[in-house]
A = this chain, B = another copy of it.
Amino acid sequence: MAVYEGPVQDLIDELGRLPGIGPKSAQRIAFHLLTADPVDITRLQSALQRVKDEVRFCTVCGNVAADEKCRICADPAREDAVICVVEEPKDVAAVERTREFRGKYHVLGGAISPIDGIGPDQLRIAPLLTRIAAPGVREVILATDPNLEGEATATYLTRLLQPFPGLTVTRLASGLPVGGDLEYADEVTLGRAFAGRRSVDA
């Protein structure tokens, strides 16, 4: 039930359309903005405007970028020989936070999901093949999500990339999350952890 008047309810509705924001949070944010300094609203509005106007996608990897190339593709210190394939720009950020990876990325823009009408043609797979065809690419790390769509995409890409001579295709390890509890692991994860067990050095 719309208990507020015109513009307030409209703002609550718009905020409620954002991912992860329920009606209660939307109401809380709307009332915060109502009583906040109008400058705060202006700042949020202009941040939205700049995202609309200025954000582009890297012509090489598909990551978000401020220029034609994203910061990572433009960085000469990053290895060209290893390409980490992810679904979305936010996955680039997740991998970057590990500080484990010094190669480059390729953002597919999603995962194969027939139910959502997303097949290989809707993903940035052709540009990936072009990049791999260039000399010097040694390894492609498939870092799609460990769910049904991500696995399907990884399997599809593996078949596609296997014929490339001299190219290693790898997949991120599945297993128990660090800090997790064996007792609470689901059986698929635990099964993967068994299948992927490694010998330990004394």
A residues near B (Cβ < 8 Å) are: 1, 3-8, 10-11, 13-15, 17-21, 25, 27-35, 38, 40-45, 47-55, 64-66, 70-71, 88-90, 93, 96-97
Residues of B within 8 A of A7 (CB): 47, 50-51, 53-55, 66
Known: A18-B29, A31-B89. A5 touches B70 (CB 8 A): yes
Residues of B within 8 A of A25 (CB): 20-21
Apart from A7-B54, A28-B90, 14 more pairs, CB < 8 Å: A3-B97, A5-B66, A6-B54, A7-B53, A13-B47, A14-B43, A18-B29, A20-B28, A21-B21, A21-B29, A34-B51, A41-B48, A41-B52, A45-B48
In the complex, the answer to whether B70 meets A10 with C-beta atoms within 8 Å is no
Residues of B within 8 A of A51 (CB): 7-8, 10-11, 30, 33-34, 41
In the complex, the answer to whether B14 meets A55 with C-beta atoms within 8 Å is no
In the complex, the answer to whether A4 meets B41 with C-beta atoms within 8 Å is no
- Bound CA–CA A41/B29 (angstroms): 17
Residues of B within 8 A of A65 (CB): 5
Considering the complex, give the chain B residue whose CB is closest to the CB of A33: B51
In the complex, the answer to whether A18 meets B32 with C-beta atoms within 8 Å is yes
The minimal Cβ–Cβ distance linking A192 to chain B, given in whole angstroms, is 25
- Bound CA–CA A3/B70 (angstroms): 12
Q: List 29 A-B contacts (CB under 8 A).
A: A4-B64, A5-B70, A6-B54, A7-B53, A7-B55, A8-B64, A10-B50, A10-B51, A11-B48, A11-B51, A13-B47, A14-B47, A15-B47, A18-B29, A18-B44, A19-B28, A19-B29, A20-B28, A21-B21, A27-B93, A31-B88, A33-B51, A34-B51, A34-B55, A34-B89, A38-B52, A41-B48, A41-B51, A45-B45
- Bound CA–CA A43/B66 (angstroms): 24
Residues of B within 8 A of A42 (CB): 52
Residues of B within 8 A of A38 (CB): 52
